[in-house]
Structure 1
Amino acid sequence: MQLNIKMIAEMAGVSVSTVSKIMNNYSDVSEKTKQRVLEIIEQTGYSPSNSAKTLATKKSSLIGVIFAGELNVDFTHPFFVEVLNSFKKQMGVLGYDLIFFSNEKFLSSGDYFSRCLHFHVDGCVIISGQKMESAIRELDMSSIPCIGVDLELKGKKSGYVMSDNYQISSKVVEHFYLLGYRELGFIGSTADSDISNLREAGYIKAIEGFGLTVNEQWFVHGEDFFEPSGYEAMQRLIASGPLPKAVFAASDLLALGAIRALKEHGLRIPEDIALVGCDDIEACKYTTPTLTTIRQNKERLGVLAAHMLFDLINNQSEGGSFVVEPALVVRESCGSRKHP
């Protein structure tokens, strides 16, 4: 028979919540009760992390990985996969393993915190999605150290890393401007996406900073950051009337969808319309034309997230944030052009 926390509680003659508190090193349990429960745990060999010592010291060397949001990214997203690979390698160097949480059950029950307690993770990395569930905010405000990737966390034991989204947009507009493009469009994700909103706000600010006109008709949005949304958004832009001369897509996958739509209508890139993406995923090098984009330093984001989480776990910091500088990568979809 496989033991569970309820059985341990019954053996010790205490409540399940008392066992949970002891497992998580809460101070409001008497030493006598604590020792009795820990002895039973040791005698029975019960432990979600396979060690009574781990339960007592609140150290499991496990890091929870959560893909947040009702519209969450996953292992199919090339940008976050590269960040996560970098994070995984650095956490391994620091002595930690990763455990991946499914978010499906929490969309209804809404309790990541209890799940983290059950597996006794030392901390969590939370990968940004869209339509964020309330359980993410509850976890952020809990006692469990958390680091967000492209997700601003505000808890006392939390921090986050992301690229400078305003600088991303500024670099795009500057590139367009220097190449002579003045009629500028944008493809973003939904209003639920903080990252898309930041890039759009930065784009508008940069356009206005150059004294250009913002045409809202040329600002379209998809359901997410993936290729089908970029395709549908560009189809709507084409159907709306005269096209802008250049478009910034808030992700490379959106840009790839836009390229597909433009080709279906016989439009040339960049001769008829120039295009810039964001992320610099591997596929950018192999599209036709190759995609000009903004490179986010994915390795640095992952390494920073790992070190920040390590410091939070070991009480060496009180959270905070790191913003990583992006870089423009010029390819065929928006390269050189003579100024008019």
Structure 2
Amino acid sequence: MESKVKISMKKESRDSKPTIVDVARLAGVSPATVSHVLNKTKRVTPETEEKVLQAVKTLRYQKNALASTLRSRNSQVIGFVTSQLHSIFWLRVIRAVEYTLSQNGYQMFLGCSYGDPARELELIESMLQSMVGGVIIATCINEINEKELPISPQIMNFLEERCVFVDTYPSGMNVDFVGVNNEEASFQLVELLLKKGYRRIAMVNGDSRILTARERRSGFFKALKEYAVSVDERYIFEGKNLGKRTGLEGANYLLSLDSPPEAVFLASGNLTVGFLEGCREKGVRIPGDIELVGFDDIEWTPVIEPFLTCCVQPSWDIGETAASLLLEKIQEKKEGRAKREVRLKCEVVIRNTFQKG
């Protein structure tokens, strides 16, 4: 019986991970001394440091970097809150943010709201309580409404002082922001259609309360006005968001009209995917029956027909710029600093019929 007890105790010891207390006991020092050696927060004698490092090696102790930084007010962890994870565009942005942070000695703490404003606020509050150094936010919140979406003064201050928004931000907030030249790029895309002689041009877009949707809408109307083309309200379809379902709904609506449009401007890559699905279901040829231009270069666009003309957002530069701007903010630690808005240029890539015209 005694032998079995000893075997059980050895197994438990072997399976459990060594702690800082175990390291301190083996080195003959206090846990605080071990912490000072590992985190270089206080000088210790070379002999003591050697004992601690030897104990760490013997026990194969590994410091929990994330836990230790979250306990520090000078956290080396940056949060990233996104509203979606399935988009190629956002995956590229996230990768750029993570790489930029890692090159500067920071780690990234990722959370997804799945398009739910309440969940987004919960994630931001959780990160604030965990004392992250700051947060980059791809928000799904269009506007701050005290009745529908109350925000505490503490969170509001955190958003303004230690956060950077990307792609869009809630109206009425004084925050740092990194985005693209939505209006100008949309104008250029619609102008391509106008120069080819199209006049029955439609738009499929999301809710104009969304900053990106509102600015891309503005570029569309600006181009029509520039070429003295009157707006036909039948050709304007605006759904709840910039997602695939809205694109499909837009296709079903526009293609069912007695006089369908000759060309369509699509305000996002996800809208384009949904619209293409609707065209396929109705047997509509692209190009041939209808011409399309849109925001975002979908992964398969250059290799699978139809080869769509589109506006390419600099996803890597967006992520890198947002991370660099946030690090600059939190390292300067200046309160009341002027907010910055950075707008990066999109590239219009011309494909298919536009190359023949």
TM range (shorter): 0.7 to 0.9
Q: Structure 2 vs 1, CA of residues 176 and 87 (structure 1 numbering), >3 Å: closer, same or farther?
A: same
Contact 1:183 1:245 in 2 (8 A): yes
Contact 1:291 1:331 in 2 (8 A): yes
Q: How many Å separate the matches in 2 of 1:53 and 1:265? A: 54
Of 81, 87, 90 in structure 2, the residue corresponding to residue 77 of structure 1 is 87
Of 203, 211, 216 in structure 1, the residue corresponding to residue 220 of structure 2 is 203
Of 126, 129, 135 in structure 2, the residue corresponding to residue 115 of structure 1 is 126
Q: How many Å separate the matches in 1 of 2:282 and 2:356? A: 23
SS at match of 1:141: helix
* CA deviation map 1:268-320 (0-9, x unaligned): 21222100121113132244212211011111111111110011111277330
Contact 2:263 2:291 in 1 (8 A): yes
Q: Structure 2 vs 1, CA of residues 94 and 237 (structure 1 numbering), >3 Å: closer, same or farther?
A: same
Contact 1:190 1:221 in 2 (8 A): yes
Residue in structure 2 matched with residue 15 of structure 1 by the alignment: none
Mapping of residues 137-216 of structure 1, within 5 Å: 139-142=155-158, 144-152=161-169, 158-216=175-233
Q: How many Å separate the matches in 2 of 1:231 and 1:109? A: 27
Look up the equivalent residue of 2:79 and give its one-letter code: G
Structure 1 residue 227: Cα displacement: 2.2
**Identical-pair percentage:** 24
Q: How many Å separate the matches in 2 of 1:230 and 1:53? A: 41
Q: Structure 2 vs 1, CA of residues 106 and 169 (structure 1 numbering), >3 Å: closer, same or farther?
A: closer
Q: How many residue pairs end up in the alignment?
A: 283
Look up the equivalent residue of 1:107 and give its one-letter code: A
Structure 1 residue 187: Cα displacement: 0.4
Mapping of residues 246-265 of structure 1, within 5 Å: 246-265=263-282
Mapping of residues 1-340 of structure 1, within 5 Å: 50-51=67-68, 55=72, 58-67=73-82, 73-103=83-113, 107=118, 110-112=121-123, 114-129=125-140, 134=149, 139-142=155-158, 144-152=161-169, 158-315=175-332, 318=337, 319-332=339-352, 334-336=353-355, 338=357
Q: How many Å separate the matches in 2 of 1:227 and 1:109? A: 21
Gaps of 5+ in 2: 1-63
Q: How many Å separate the matches in 2 of 1:288 and 1:313? A: 46
Q: How many Å separate the matches in 2 of 1:272 and 1:130? A: 37
* CA deviation map 1:55-109 (0-9, x unaligned): 3xx2110111112xxxxx3110111111111111111111111112354897279
* CA deviation map 1:215-235 (0-9, x unaligned): 111011233322232112110
Q: How many Å separate the matches in 2 of 1:196 and 1:190? A: 6
Look up the equivalent residue of 2:129 and give its one-letter code: H
Q: How many Å separate the matches in 1 of 2:65 and 2:306? A: 52
Q: Structure 2 vs 1, CA of residues 136 and 261 (structure 1 numbering), >3 Å: closer, same or farther?
A: farther
Q: Structure 2 vs 1, CA of residues 49 and 208 (structure 1 numbering), >3 Å: closer, same or farther?
A: same
* CA deviation map 1:168-215 (0-9, x unaligned): 111112211222222211000124422112101221012101211111
Structure 1 residue 135: Cα displacement: 6.3
SS at match of 1:187: strand
Give the alignment's TM-score, normalised by structure 1. Answer: 0.74
Q: How many Å separate the matches in 2 of 1:207 and 1:320? A: 31
Contact 1:196 1:250 in 2 (8 A): yes
Look up the equivalent residue of 2:133 and give its one-letter code: D
Q: How many Å separate the matches in 1 of 2:181 and 2:95? A: 21
Structure 1 residue 141: Cα displacement: 3.5
Q: How many Å separate the matches in 1 of 2:281 and 2:66? A: 54
Q: Structure 2 vs 1, CA of residues 261 and 66 (structure 1 numbering), >3 Å: closer, same or farther?
A: same
SS at match of 1:99: strand
SS at match of 1:307: helix
Look up the equivalent residue of 2:98 and give its one-letter code: K
